Amino acid sequence: MHESPVSIRHYRAADLFILRQITTDSFGGVSLDMALEQKLGRWNERDWKARKADHIDDDVNQNPEGCFVAERDGEILGYITVRLDPLNSRGRIPNMAVVESARGLGLGRRLIVHALDYMRDAGMKVAQIETMASNAIGQHLYPSCGFEEVARKVHFAMKL
Q: Is position 105 an interface residue for ligand COA (rule: CB under 6 A)?
A: yes
Contact 26, 107 (CB under 8 A): no
Of 30, 35, 113, 122, the one binding ligand COA by CB under 6 A = 30
- Shortest Å distance, C-beta 107 to ligand COA: 4
- Shortest Å distance, C-beta 103 to ligand COA: 3
- Judged by CB under 6 A, the number of residues near ligand COA is 21
Q: Is position 137 an interface residue for ligand COA (rule: CB under 6 A)?
A: yes
Q: Is position 104 an interface residue for ligand COA (rule: CB under 6 A)?
A: yes
Instruction: Tell me phi and psi for residue 56, to 5 degrees.
Output: -70, -40
| H or E, element range at 31 | none
- Shortest Å distance, C-beta 52 to ligand COA: 10
Of 4, 39, 106, 157, the one binding ligand COA by CB under 6 A = 106
Alpha helices by DSSP H, listed for the chain, are 16-26, 32-40, 48-62, 107-121, 136-144
Distance, CA of 11 to chain centre: 13
Find the angle CA(26)-CA(120)-CA(98) to the nearest 5 degrees.
15
Closest CB to ligand COA among residues 7, 123 = 7
Residue 82 to residue 100: CA distance in whole angstroms:
22
Q: Which residue is nearest to ligand COA (CB)?
A: 108
Contact 104, 44 (CB under 8 A): no
The residues in 139-158 that bind ligand COA, with binding defined as CB under 6 A, are: 140-141, 144
Residues near ligand COA, by CB under 6 A? 26-27, 30, 96-98, 103-109, 131, 135-138, 140-141, 144
